[in-house]
């Protein structure tokens, strides 16, 4: 069996049969390719995975020991890897396009999933013969038999909670997160930290920790239409903390032009990796800040994405019941996560080899196959399984993928909220503390001092939670969708201005009241817009 490794993107190191990209840490020591290759010598593949399991940091690794290829991604899939089996050859790459003979031959079910969810779930990609290594997964491609073995060495599953009061838990979290930021600061060797600062809590906490540690080589930046609430509050926070503030104005007209630039289209192609919609909101700002020398070329980006997920923002109300079950769990994932376009809308974009009913059933089956096994009968079990699905199939493929924007310009990045020890901590925080992010909000609001209050959450989301608890969500949602449909012009005038990627008239033709920006990005990336 032939083994073929094609690693295209910059940053890979090689020593012996080991390829590594990123920065794994083991017992406080950074592992380069030579060190990892030495540690792996003589180990079977499961023992080799056990060694990786003990690592923190963000990385991907490939080991070729002659017996096969071992592929490993970290706990958030920050650096993707892909594989394909064809006849007597097993191929591996960081670019899935290199693993197929026809990049236009896409899988129908994966196309539908991409349109409705914004990414392709489980190990699948848009390419029918190309698989991906999932977050916290090791994949072994055997040279002898050609078999493909998969092993999940890490799953985002909640375990027994802390036996501690909230004050003690908050102290532990504070100490842990300070240690994570301190380690990040040590690793960047005095370079400028570029912090995309919003009006919320997640990026604010990073800013507060950097200030506590006395690291002043920080530039905070924001973007959007001038005067938007997020950036107004963020600027005030930066000024209070005495960090430099930069702002890049956006407009619909600019977005229309930016989105059609060859450079942006190249980013969409590479960053999507035949797997997910690309989060592009930072791209124009980063491009301008680097081009105009408002950020140094070697700046290290430290975004605060998705801490709200860890804190409990994505717990569906319908799972807060005494008896849930797998079927209700699948329905919740489908309703919430497969909502960029409705099934009915999807059938208006292209022809399909199956009925609408069959397509919906197949998508539900794919969800069922992606969730962790179990009864999912209690609220705690169902919530844990739901968050595990979202971690592996949304956050790892979509949210964490924002770092591709920074890599596009040759810049390094850190994801402090997605270090293993951070995830391990929040997996032990009791569910009742995470409802409505109560524990996290109390903690960070206690640190904020005289900083301006964080931007309040969506009134609509708060109303939706109340409506679900009162059992009137469906009629309330129908009324809300009708209202959004009627106010399409207001929706188009988003604070970031990014609906400008699509002509206003085209937007009006397609918009039903349900869609957001990622709905239109999914269409654009599949060239259906």
**Based on the domain organization, do 173 and 293 belong to the same domain?**
yes
Same domain membership, residue 146 and residue 68: yes
Please report the pLDDT score of residue 107 as a whole number. 97
Ranges of the chain whose pLDDT falls below 70:
322, 457-489
Do 218 and 138 share a structural domain? no
Please report whether residue 301 resides in a domain: yes
Whether 272 and 410 share a structural domain: yes
Residues 143 and 238 in one domain: no
Q: Where are the alpha helices (DSSP H) in 24-125?
A: 33-40, 45-53, 108-117
Sign of CA dihedral 467, 468, 470, 476: positive
User: What pLDDT, on a 0 to 100 scale, did the predictor assign at position 375?
Assistant: 86
Question: Are 142 and 238 part of one and the same domain?
Answer: no
**Contacts with 227 (C-beta within 8 Å, 6 or more apart), sequence order:** none
- pLDDT at res. 144: 87
How far apart CA 266 and CA 355 sit, in angstroms, is 34
Residue 429, in any domain of the structure? yes
User: Is 123 inside a domain boundary?
Assistant: no
Whether residue 57 is contained in a domain is answered as yes
**pLDDT per residue over 390-439, tens digit each?**
999 999 999 999 999 999 999 999 999 999 999 999 999 999 999 889 99
CATH number at residue 35: 3.60.20.10
Q: Are residues 62 and 204 in the same domain?
A: no
Whether 113 is covered by a domain: the verdict is no
Which residue among 423, 441, 457 closes a domain? 457
Compute φ and ψ for 218, nearest 5 degrees. Answer: -130, 135
- 262 in the same domain as 227: yes
- In this structure, what DSSP letter does residue 248 have? E
Q: What is the pLDDT of residue 463?
A: 43
pLDDT of res. 458:
45
**139 and 182 co-located in one domain:** no
In terms of phi and psi (left: phi > 0; alpha: psi -120 to 50; beta: otherwise), the region of 125 is beta
Q: What is the pLDDT of residue 274?
A: 97
pLDDT of residue 483: 54
Are 146 and 175 within one domain?
Answer: no
Residue 67 belongs to a domain: yes
When divided into structural domains, the chain yields a total of 2
CA distance 76 to 154: 10
Q: Do 141 and 199 fall into the same domain?
A: no
Computed over its alpha carbons, how large is the radius of gyration of the chain?
23
| Together in a domain, 24 and 55 | yes
For residue 361, tell me if it sits in a domain.
no
Residues 123, 138: Cα–Cα separation, whole Å: 12
Q: Which of 419, 435, 457 delimits the end of a domain?
A: 457
Other beta carbons within 10 Å of 160:
8
241 domain residue, yes or no: yes
Which position has the token pair 């650096």? Answer: 79
Q: Which CATH number goes with the domain that contains 266?
A: 3.40.50.620
Task: Return the pLDDT at 243.
Answer: 98
Whole-prediction pTM: 0.93
Q: What is the pLDDT of residue 318?
A: 84
Q: Which two tokens stand for residue 325?
A: 């079950």
The reported pLDDT for the residue numbered 86 is 84
Among 433, 457, 481, residue at a domain's last position: 457
Judge whether 264 and 157 are in contact, CB under 8 Å.
Answer: no
Residue range(s) defining the domain that contains residue 141: 2-81+133-152
Task: Please tell me the distance from the alpha carbon of residue 400 to that of residue 421, in angstroms, as a whole number.
Answer: 17
- Give me 487's structure tokens: 């106010």
Using one digit for the tens of pLDDT, what is the confidence trace for 497-520? 999 999 999 999 999 999 999 999
Q: Give me the half-sphere count of Cα atoms (radius 13 Å) on the Cβ side of residue 289.
A: 28
Whole-number Å distance between alpha carbons of 401 and 403? 5
């Amino acid at each position: 069996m032939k083994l073929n490794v094609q690693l295209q993107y910059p940053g890979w190191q090689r020593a012996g049969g080991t390829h590594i990209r990123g920065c794994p840490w083991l017992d406080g020591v950074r592992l380069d390719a030579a060190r990892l290759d030495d540690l792996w010598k003589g180990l079977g593949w499961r023992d080799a995975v056990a060694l990786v399991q003990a690592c923190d940091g963000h990385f991907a690794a490939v080991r070729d020991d002659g017996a096969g290829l071992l592929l490993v991604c970290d706990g958030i899939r920050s650096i993707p890897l892909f594989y394909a089996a064809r006849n007597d050859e097993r191929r591996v790459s960081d670019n899935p396009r290199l693993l197929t003979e026809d990049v236009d031959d896409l899988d129908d079910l994966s196309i539908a999933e991409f349109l409705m969810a914004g990414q392709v779930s489980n190990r699948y990609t848009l390419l029918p013969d190309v698989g991906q290594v999932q977050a916290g997964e090791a994949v072994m491609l055997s040279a002898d038999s050609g078999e493909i073995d998969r092993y999940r060495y890490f799953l985002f599953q909640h375990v027994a909670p802390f036996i501690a009061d909230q004050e003690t838990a908050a102290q532990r979290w504070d100490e842990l997160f300070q240690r994570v930021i301190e380690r990040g600061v040590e690793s960047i060797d005095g370079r400028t930290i570029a912090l995309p600062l919003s009006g919320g809590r997640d990026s604010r906490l990073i800013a507060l920790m950097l200030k506590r540690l006395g690291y002043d080589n920080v530039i905070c930046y924001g973007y959007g239409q001038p005067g938007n609430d997020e950036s107004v509050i963020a600027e005030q926070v930066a000024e209070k903390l005495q960090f430099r503030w930069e702002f890049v104005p956006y407009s619909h007209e600019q977005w229309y032009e930016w989105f059609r630039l060859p450079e942006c289209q190249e980013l969409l192609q590479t960053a999507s990796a035949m797997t997910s919609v690309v989060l592009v909101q930072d791209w124009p700002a980063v491009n301008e800040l680097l081009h105009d020398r408002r950020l140094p070329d070697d700046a290290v980006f430290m975004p605060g994405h998705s801490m709200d997920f860890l804190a409990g923002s994505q717990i569906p109300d319908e799972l807060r019941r005494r008896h849930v079950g797998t079927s209700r769990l699948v329905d919740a994932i489908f309703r919430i996560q497969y909502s960029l376009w409705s099934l009915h809308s999807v059938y208006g974009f292209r022809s399909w080899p199956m009925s609408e009913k069959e397509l919906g059933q197949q998508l539900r089956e794919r969800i069922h196959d992606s969730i962790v096994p179990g009864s999912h009968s209690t609220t705690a079990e169902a919530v844990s399984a739901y968050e595990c699905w979202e971690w592996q199939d949304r956050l790892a493929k979509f949210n964490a993928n924002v770092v591709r924007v920074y890599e596009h310009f040759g810049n390094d990045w850190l994801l402090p909220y997605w270090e293993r020890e951070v995830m391990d901590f929040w997996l032990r925080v009791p569910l009742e503390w995470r409802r409505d992010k109560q524990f996290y909000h109390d903690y960070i609001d206690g640190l904020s001092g005289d900083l301006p209050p964080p931007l309040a959450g969506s009134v609509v989301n708060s109303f939706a939670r109340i409506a679900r608890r009162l059992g009137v969500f469906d009629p309330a949602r129908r009324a809300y969708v009708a209202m959004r449909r009627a106010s399409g012009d207001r929706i188009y005038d988003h604070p970031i201005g990014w609906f400008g990627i699509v002509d206003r008239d085209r937007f009006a033709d397609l918009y039903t009241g349900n869609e957001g920006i990622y709905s239109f990005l999914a269409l654009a990336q599949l060239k259906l817009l």
